[in-house]
A and B are shown apart, each in its own frame.
Chain A
């Protein structure tokens, strides 16, 4: 059974940093791209970043480019999102998701809430 467990969210001040983690199990982790998708409660989903299975290719939304870094440790089956220079508008629930062929997200973590506030 595929399982994704997000963690690392919390309250941080504007300009601060936070690192999210996503522990994966139930599939060949290194064989799949992984993404972070965020959602302000009550709003639409927003794609944030994707990393290839080997970790050699990354993509970012314009809204986070230069501030967020996605990475992965395939030996530990863990996905990361290092968030720096956080802004109030980065406040959201962050989900990790497994990327399936065709560019869809077929499994999602339970989400971790990031609140950026002074």
Chain B
């Protein structure tokens, strides 16, 4: 199975800060990478597919990049509603689809 590792596990930031989260795959996955946002007690929400394809309705302050084994999710100017946990998921090799351990974005 492909292992997905995110860093950092948590990050504290101010509103307005730029935040970058990294996701690394244990083997190359092309651009088959998705990012999800999950708020406490809620279901995950798809933000980005195919490494950089922003889903409809997702604010443009979110962006994704990368290919192969290293990917990033960037929030250009953190807003109060962005405080959540973010997960990456590889969609290259199935089964199984696998997820990162999550990165919690907290208020500083």
Mark A residues whose CB is within 8 Å of B.
43-47, 50, 59-62, 95, 100, 102-111
Contact = CB atoms under 8 A, between A and B. Distances in A.
Contacts of B100: 44
A109 B95 CA distance: 21
Contacts of A59: 94-96
Interface residues of B, number: 24
Main secondary structure of the interface of B (DSSP, over half): loop
Interface in B33-57: 34, 36, 42-46, 49-50, 55
A74 to B, nearest CB: 22
A44 B87 contact: yes
A111 B91 CA distance: 22
A103 B2 CA distance: 15
Contact of B95 (A44, A60, A100, A106): A60
Contact of A104 (B89, B96, B101): B89
Given A44-B87, A45-B87, A59-B94, A105 B44 contact: yes
A103 B46 contact: no
Interface in B71-108: 87, 89, 91-92, 94-102
B95 A45 contact: no
A105 B95 CA distance: 14
B101 A108 contact: no
Contact of A106 (B55, B96, B98): B55
Contacts of A47: 95-99
Contacts of B92: 103
Nearest to A58: B95
A44 B5 CA distance: 11
Contacts of B36: 45, 105
Contacts of A95: 43-44
B30 to A, nearest CB: 11
Nearest to B56: A106
A44 B50 contact: no
A100 B44 contact: no
